[in-house]
Structure 1
Amino acid sequence: MEKNEDIDIIGQFGVGFYSAFMVASSVTVISKKYGEDTAWKWVSNGTDGYTIEETTKDAPGTDVIMTLKADTDDEKYSTYLEEYEIRNLVRKYSDYIRYPIKMEVTKTRPVEEPQAEGEEKKEPKYEEYQEMETLNSMVPIWQRAKKDVTEEEYDNFYREKFFDYTKPLKVIHFGVEGAVSFKALLYIPGKAPYDFYTKDFKRGLQLYSSGVMIMENCEDLLPEHFRFVRGVVDSQDLSLNISREMLQHNRQLTIIARNIEKKIKSELKNMLDNDRAKYEEFYAVFGRQLKYGTVADYGAHKETCQDLLLFYSHKQGKLITLKEYVDAMAEGQEKIYFAPGENRERLAKLPQVETLSKKGYDVLLFAEDVDEFIPQTLMTYMEKKFCNVATEDLGLKTEEEKKEAEEKAEEMKGLLTFVKETLGDQVKEVRLSADLGSHPACMVPDSGMSFEMEKYMKKANPEFAFPVGRILELNPEHEAVKALQKAMTEDPVKAKDYAQLLCYQAQLMAELPLEDPYAYTELVCKLMK
């Protein structure tokens, strides 16, 4: 061979050949072309170039001989000579290449010995023998047609591949042909991994190129909002670097990822529309992740996630989509009402929810901490604005009713001043409200931030959390407020106790902690005497 020929010898053996030098001190390749008499021997230590010389070889083909490095305190290279280790490496990285990988293995078999009639049964003896065994599966399940794969085969592959013995909730098996072609076998698990909602969880799909595993967790193939999906992707069109461990972030990978995201959404939407019970089973496990996906990155993926979300409908008593809410809105209703809190049972008893229910309006009960971020991210849905019943005007009053409310507030100005002076810094303001239904009082925040958001911010970052101002709203038509007004003129001391009691009750209704629970119990006992 001419020395000046510019030929990348290593490259001719395929991507990954250079990795042999990670464990070998030298590599020898002996190759003979079919129909030729001469064979060639190539030798290199991976650092000082290589040598090529003629040699002899009986049959055509190629032999690759690796001389392993000596063991060190940090690396035990000799383990790569062990049968168990070789099996594991083949199963992990080359189980699905289309050519058989064979190894001569040592096995044992019983030796039959003649036994005379009446003689006691002898202990069985075994002998060792050598046998060529194919280590790899060769035909990956994802390369087969869906109609040829049974449900049991899908489930068995999932268990063996991902060590999850819970039956997967959904199998997504598809392929794409075009500028970038690939096959994918995806699974939606039946339960969340123990570390799913922690920073330690690693999302991603196993990435193969022509049956050879390139990356065990390719994050770029799976968006964060679908991080619960497990599976494999196999493509011949991906560009790889020489280490075969890192994939170049290129156009092909982006196209594959976009197709995978679109397919997952399509399958989830189909499940939502055609198998609601199964979708709600999925949503109970991974619905929170879809919510996080909606608000993440300033709502960059909200269009993908919003139609997959479910919220509890107070009116219908079940989980519904935002579209189902809008489609069922009462005549004259202009807003999507929601109530944030810690649990649905308490939210259902809020004064504002009661008032809206009497008008035939539905209220979505938000009982997870992430829920309240969703309206802030979406802003509107199907041109309908969101309305937090705990912080915003419900928009129920007519102009005439607004005028009457102003007149009523002026009429009861003395009572409002009295209650504010009694409560002092416990509240920022005291005002009347016609939206309290059968309840005498209600505590609402003085800004757009709800009490639930205040709790969340305090939990997430206590140092930068700041308290939300409290506004006490009174129902002028309730008997308790009328009793307070009467006591204000007849028994001011008792009126102060009434005012404080209403404040405590409003705090409890809003799921706010009482600064002094003992004072509350003492006050109740005092008024019961």
Structure 2
Amino acid sequence: MHEFKTESKKLLDLMINSIYTNKEIFLRELISNASDAVDKLNFKSLQDPSIKVGEGDLAIRLSFDKDARTLTVSDNGIGMTADELERNLGTIAHSGSQEFKRENAEHQGDDVDIIGQFGVGFYSAFMVASKVRVVSRAFGEETAHVWESDGLEGYTIEDGERAEHGTDVILTIRENVPGVDGEQGENYDTYLSEWGLKDLVRRFSNYVRYPIQMMVTKSRQKPKPEDAGDDYKPEYEDYQELETLNSMTPIWKKRSSDVTPEEYNEFYKSTFHDWEDPARTFSFHAEGALEYDALLFIPGKAPFDLYSKDYQKGLALYSSNVMIMEKCADLVPDYYNFVRGIVDSADVSLNISRETLQHDRQLHAIANRVEKKITAELQKMRDDDREAYERFFENFGRGLKFGIYQSYGMKADELADLLLFWSAREQKMVTLAEYAKAMPEGQKAVYYAAGDDRDRLSKMPVVHGVLDRGYDVLLCTADVDEFTFQAMRTYTAKDMPKVYADDTAREAAAKAVADGAEPETEDRALELKNVASGDLDLATDDEKKQAEEASKEHEELFQAMKEALGDKVEKVAVSARPMDAPAVITTEGPVSLEMEKVMARGPEAEGAPKSQRVLELNAKHPVFEKLVAAQKAGEKEKLAQYAGLLYDQALLVEGILPEDPVAFAQAVCNLM
């Protein structure tokens, strides 16, 4: 017996117990090795015309024996000599495939597509096998050789027999391990069943370029006997048939013109387990320093768990048609977590187990290109098929908004123009760019109202006040909307009509346009303002003056109302905004009423910041006269009751229940 060296024994133990986290990938590794062996022979035949190897004859074969508990992976590839068995299998982490790739680097990806890199994949077999036997006959040799090991102390190499060139890897599968103390055991019988092997091939090796075949049991109806009577019942028999388990040609490597939409849809539904066709399908191929293929899908509907903590984002990552990761989270940003698809590249730097990636600039380069492609596709959908885009946004728009908030506004340039909001004036969904294009001359901000119901928002006095000025209001009903706007602070509207500093410049520009020049445009930063905030600055000079005069005249009234309301409000003031309501609640500072409500529903509600509320009074409303009269008459109790009623009423308009609904109801009854 050839013993593993001390260092090699430690490394082998590391291979078996530490590097791989998922036992199931052992079959992927063995199939990949078999594919490399077949590829080497195919490549050799292309270089040497005297070697007659038909590519259609090259294949990988799986077989199993339940009674003997053996699983065999066979190929008719180039095979190995005794020296190569010693070097490739007796020396851990020596990769014959990697050596071959270096020697034939200029042909990689052309007529040869070698997968192996590290020389450790073979040893993953010991995760499921108590013994591994390799029978290999090198192409052009008469004698086969047998390598055998239990993965513990060492290995043996001796002469053997094999009818033709190629390699058999025979695994003696471990016995099942029962669970102990409620912990799940190990079911190794899965690797000795048709359905188990089919599933592993489909998941990890479906697109290996050579057929992976296995004898499978099928059922068929026996011929009906000639003398069978009318009461004859059909009889069935089992039979064996050689079946190809993999599809070989990846759909993402075909030209899009050669694939029908129906084929893409079927691939999407079967691969990603969705019942509906995708809303959008797009693919692209990158060449140059980094080569890869990508096939991406935007689902028709959001999965039920999209916004749960258990949802896992990511694209399937393949390397040379072999699946490396089912969900590579680093390939898509969080705000595009709904995108499904596949990226296939032979150039990404894998870690030694090929289960995860090394985080390097290659991966970042692919992720950046994928992100830009998704953004471009969404922009195209928005512009070319608005109805489909609005359906998409209903499903996934919340994530785009959260992407801006989560990045503290840094992603606003990429995502802001993908957002949709309901226009109170247009009565439809609009983009921020469309809102800006429709603004009247002189408007300097984007106005919005935040709440949980569009109809209620449309009836709010603060919304009507802005609409009456001729300015549109965006009605925002998603819980993340206002947080998104707070993170953005401003929106840069592109190609807006230029605003001139004075009449002379404006007249000169108008004359230039009349003479045939193109109208001048500019990018304009528009502040994002909640109509319920106290600093809209929409009042005219006269309105500001009237409010200021009323504030001075009735200073004692406001002070008395503030004392009655206590710390419920920061202050009571006359409103300069036009409105029909007797009073409204506005806020000062960064926290609005709606943000306060959202945070109150969160996990840290107890310590959530509160809004700084202001009770603004309409000095032109008849109710204001009642307040003035009560204050002049010295009816302190009545004034306190009025103040409480106006405050609670304004809260109800905002969709917030009074702190004491019973007291509010009694106050209304007392007033009546």
TM-score, normalised on structure 2? 0.74
**Deviation (angstroms), 1:223:** 0.9
**Deviation (angstroms), 1:408:** 2.3
Counterpart position of 2:198: 87
Query: Partner amino acid for 2:96?
Result: Q
CA deviation map 1:428-457 (0-9, x unaligned):
311101214111111122433111111222
> Which secondary structure does the structure 1 equivalent of 2:649 belong to?
helix
RMSD: 2.4
**Deviation (angstroms), 1:427:** 3.0
Counterpart contact for 1:348–1:354, Cα < 8 Å: yes
Within the candidate set 87, 98, 112, 2:209 is matched to: 98
Query: Partner amino acid for 1:524?
Result: V
Counterpart contact for 1:30–1:41, Cα < 8 Å: yes
Give distance in 1, aligned partners of 2:528 and 2:417.
16
Counterpart contact for 1:28–1:66, Cα < 8 Å: yes
Counterpart position of 1:147: 257
> Which secondary structure does the structure 2 equivalent of 1:299 belong to?
coil
Counterpart position of 1:526: 670
Give distance in 2, aligned partners of 1:345 and 1:519.
28
**Deviation (angstroms), 1:171:** 1.2
Counterpart contact for 2:421–2:430, Cα < 8 Å: yes
Within the candidate set 589, 592, 598, 1:456 is matched to: 598
Counterpart contact for 1:19–1:243, Cα < 8 Å: no
Give distance in 2, aligned partners of 1:135 and 1:105.
10
Query: Partner amino acid for 2:656?
Result: L
Counterpart contact for 1:391–1:448, Cα < 8 Å: no
**Deviation (angstroms), 1:232:** 1.6
Give distance in 1, aligned partners of 2:561 and 2:225.
107
CA deviation map 1:264-308 (0-9, x unaligned):
111001001111110000001111011111111323433221111
Counterpart position of 2:187: 76
Counterpart contact for 1:105–1:131, Cα < 8 Å: yes
Q: Does the alignment pair 1:483 with 2:626?
A: yes
Structural mapping, 1:383-462, within 5 Å:
383-399=525-541, 401-460=543-602, 461-462=604-605
CA deviation map 1:82-103 (0-9, x unaligned):
1121111111111111100011
Counterpart contact for 1:507–1:514, Cα < 8 Å: yes
Q: Does the alignment pair 1:12 with 2:96?
A: yes
Give distance in 1, aligned partners of 2:349 and 2:395.
36
Counterpart position of 1:499: 643
Counterpart position of 2:134: 29
> Which secondary structure does the structure 2 equivalent of 1:372 belong to?
helix
Higher mean C-alpha deviation, range 354-363 or range 40-49: 40-49
Structural mapping, 1:129-168, within 5 Å:
129-168=239-278
Structural mapping, 1:32-71, within 5 Å:
32-71=137-176
Within the candidate set 275, 287, 292, 2:402 is matched to: 292
> Which secondary structure does the structure 1 equivalent of 2:481 belong to?
coil
Give distance in 2, aligned partners of 1:237 and 1:53.
38
Residues 1:177 and 1:358: Cα distance change in structure 2 (over 3 Å): same
Where does the alignment leave 5 or more consecutive residues of structure 1 unmatched?
none
**Deviation (angstroms), 1:49:** 3.8
Counterpart contact for 2:466–2:531, Cα < 8 Å: no
Higher mean C-alpha deviation, range 157-166 or range 217-226: 157-166
> Which secondary structure does the structure 2 equivalent of 1:115 belong to?
coil
Counterpart position of 2:387: 277
**Deviation (angstroms), 1:496:** 4.4
Query: Partner amino acid for 2:554?
Result: M
**Deviation (angstroms), 1:504:** 2.3
Give distance in 2, aligned partners of 1:412 and 1:523.
24
Give distance in 1, aligned partners of 2:394 and 2:307.
14
Counterpart contact for 1:171–1:186, Cα < 8 Å: yes
Residues 1:392 and 1:421: Cα distance change in structure 2 (over 3 Å): closer
Within the candidate set 292, 297, 312, 1:187 is matched to: 297
Give distance in 1, aligned partners of 2:606 and 2:643.
33
TM-score, normalised on structure 1? 0.93
Counterpart contact for 1:18–1:242, Cα < 8 Å: no
Give the count of matched residue pairs: 527
**Deviation (angstroms), 1:178:** 2.1
Counterpart contact for 1:183–1:235, Cα < 8 Å: yes
Give distance in 1, aligned partners of 2:368 and 2:559.
61
Give distance in 1, aligned partners of 2:355 and 2:305.
25
Give distance in 2, aligned partners of 1:148 and 1:495.
79
Where does the alignment leave 5 or more consecutive residues of structure 2 unmatched?
1-81, 98-115, 179-184, 493-524
Residues 1:43 and 1:527: Cα distance change in structure 2 (over 3 Å): same
Counterpart contact for 1:420–1:427, Cα < 8 Å: yes
Give distance in 2, aligned partners of 1:428 and 1:119.
96
Residues 1:6 and 1:119: Cα distance change in structure 2 (over 3 Å): closer
Query: Partner amino acid for 1:483?
Result: K
Counterpart contact for 1:351–1:435, Cα < 8 Å: no
**Deviation (angstroms), 1:42:** 2.2
Give distance in 1, aligned partners of 2:559 and 2:569.
12
Counterpart contact for 1:105–1:130, Cα < 8 Å: yes
Query: Partner amino acid for 1:391?
Result: S
Q: Does the alignment pair 1:512 with 2:666?
A: no
Higher mean C-alpha deviation, range 166-175 or range 80-89: 166-175
Query: Partner amino acid for 1:221?
Result: L
Residues 1:110 and 1:249: Cα distance change in structure 2 (over 3 Å): same
Counterpart position of 1:373: 483
Give distance in 2, aligned partners of 1:417 and 1:292.
41
Query: Partner amino acid for 1:87?
Result: K
CA deviation map 1:95-145 (0-9, x unaligned):
1111000112233444436524x8666544444433211111111221211
**Deviation (angstroms), 1:240:** 2.4
